[in-house]
Amino acid sequence: MTATNRRTFLGAAGLLAVSGRLARAAASDRVRVGVIGIKSRGHDLVKEFARNKGAEVVALCDIDDSLFANPVKSVEDIGGKAPRTEKDFRRLLDDKSIDAVVIATPDHWHALLAVMACQAGKDVYTEKPASHNVVEGRRMVEAARKYNRVVQLGTQRRSMPHVKEAVEHVQSGALGKVGMARAWIHQQRKPIGHGQPGEVPKGVDYAMWQGPALDRPFYPNRFHYNWHWFWNWGTGELGNNGIHGLDVARWGLGVEAPLRVSSGGGKYVFDDDQEVPDTQVVTWEFPNACMVWEHRMWSKHGNEGSGFGIAFYGDKGTLIVDQKGWHVEDGEKAEGQSSGGQEAHVQNFLDCVHSRNKPNADIEIGHLSTRLCHLGNIAYRVGRKLTFDGAREAFVNDAEADKLLSREYSSRFEMPSQV
């Protein structure tokens, strides 16, 4: 797409968004859904939406022909009717019969697709992290508000009753003064090796896959899933899994923008092509507490008895949220069992499509939590502690770090400065 055509499309898409576009407002109507990105996580969401009696999956979109068969069969098996398939997402946005889109693409596509969908009058359910960088995340919030769209981030713990209970317990004062929250993940991933440039697989539109990202030659070990570990397309383990834990930690502490952020770590174990750290510790400093993230991609020995979790440390007790639920240690005993998850999160989104209320993980909530991931990665990449101005969403007297708040775009697509 040329620059002129790209801008023309963005302008035309904006004209499609009219106040209260959703014509089928009755609670009994099914929300017609198109899913963009259908590998692994996308396929999971295809099935989740197809199983929901309030939704109908009518279209699937991906740049890889080899991925369509299983998700199409899933929809047909669940609902009795196969969805149509497309390789160009714009066909879904142009289709006025589609009410909402689900975005499960690589990180570098999340924000632009969400903005364009809002401009086209679609509600949006997008996978985490919200964006590839801070500026794009803010554009998502602006587009959702300007076009009156429901935009839900796929941080499903926001819809889990036991996580809400845990947060309420933290905020009740039962732990005393909470001075620190910590989130972590420790697991054994496999190295991706040292690759060589190769031929783009048959049936793959690699240019569309790269989309707004700068052109990079095709390497088989940098494509499906492994894109997570390269800054051009992904956000590392901090953006991949950190967003889940940090969102709950930020929720429990009731904080928004940090004053300062620092990060240490590096590639200490993996000898491969990954650019992101296999080991990372990040600290965000707020006025009355700090937040810490830790990951090891090569060791499954966890913290607080769990490979993934969130802990709130108070002077009267410690509350731990893990895969089993939540419980308090070193204080007045309290606990809750794990409950809910993806199904409840999707239902919340669909309910809000009808009610026009903000969903549990509204995009502004999602942006503020994803922003923590971006700030941590920037501190790691520049190698020093950074001071952040939350009102401006910029660093204080640090032009080098500020450059990483956004990105350079390809000639195909770019995020507009005004949505």
**Residue 238, domain CATH:** 3.30.360.10
Q: Write the DSSP assignment of 10-26 as a string of letters.
A: HHHHHHT--TT-----S
- Alpha-carbon gap, residue 393 to 385, rounded angstroms: 16
185 and 116 fall within a common domain: no
At 43, which CATH number?
3.40.50.720
**Location of structure tokens 């308090």:** 328
Quick one: which H or E segment has residue 58?
Answer: strand 55-61
- 379 and 253, same structural domain? yes
142 and 230 part of one domain: no
* Mean pLDDT calculated for residue range 152-167: 98
Report if residue 112 sits inside a domain: yes
Residues 256 and 118 in one domain: no
Percent of the chain surpassing pLDDT 90: 92
CB atoms within 10 A of CB 331: 15
Return the pLDDT at 315: 98
Domain count, the chain: 2
Mean pLDDT for 102-128 is: 98
Name residue 230's amino acid. Answer: F
Same domain, 173 and 248: yes
Same domain for 143 and 38? yes
Residue 216 inside a domain? The answer is no
In this predicted structure, the answer to whether residue 25 has a pLDDT above a threshold of 70 is no
Same-domain pairing of 270 and 164 = yes
Instruction: Give this prediction's pTM.
Output: 0.93
- Do 313 and 176 share a structural domain? yes
Q: What pLDDT does residue 1 have?
A: 39
Strands, sheet with 290-296, edge to edge from the N-terminal-most edge strand? 335-337, 325-329, 317-322, 308-314, 178-186, 290-296, 279-285, 260-266, 386-389, 394-395
Closest to 404 measured CA to CA, from 368, 380, 222: 380
Q: Residue 219 is encoded by which pair of tokens? A: 């390497």
- Let me know: does 175 contact 319? Beta carbons within 8 Å: yes
- What average pLDDT does range 17-40 have in this prediction? 69
How many C-alpha atoms does 266 have within 13 Å on its Cβ side? 4
- Whether residue 10 sits in one domain with residue 135: yes
Of residues 37 and 24, more confidently modeled? 37
Query: Do the domain assignments include residue 215?
Result: no
CB 217 within 8 A of CB 196: no
Domain membership of residue 42 as a residue range: 3-156+345-362
Same domain, 122 and 9: yes
Residues 95 and 129 grouped into a single domain: yes
Question: Both 186 and 135 in a single domain?
Answer: no
36 phi, psi to nearest 5 deg: -110, 110
| Domain presence at residue 69 | yes
**Cα–Cα distance for residue pair 80/76, rounded to 1 Å:** 5
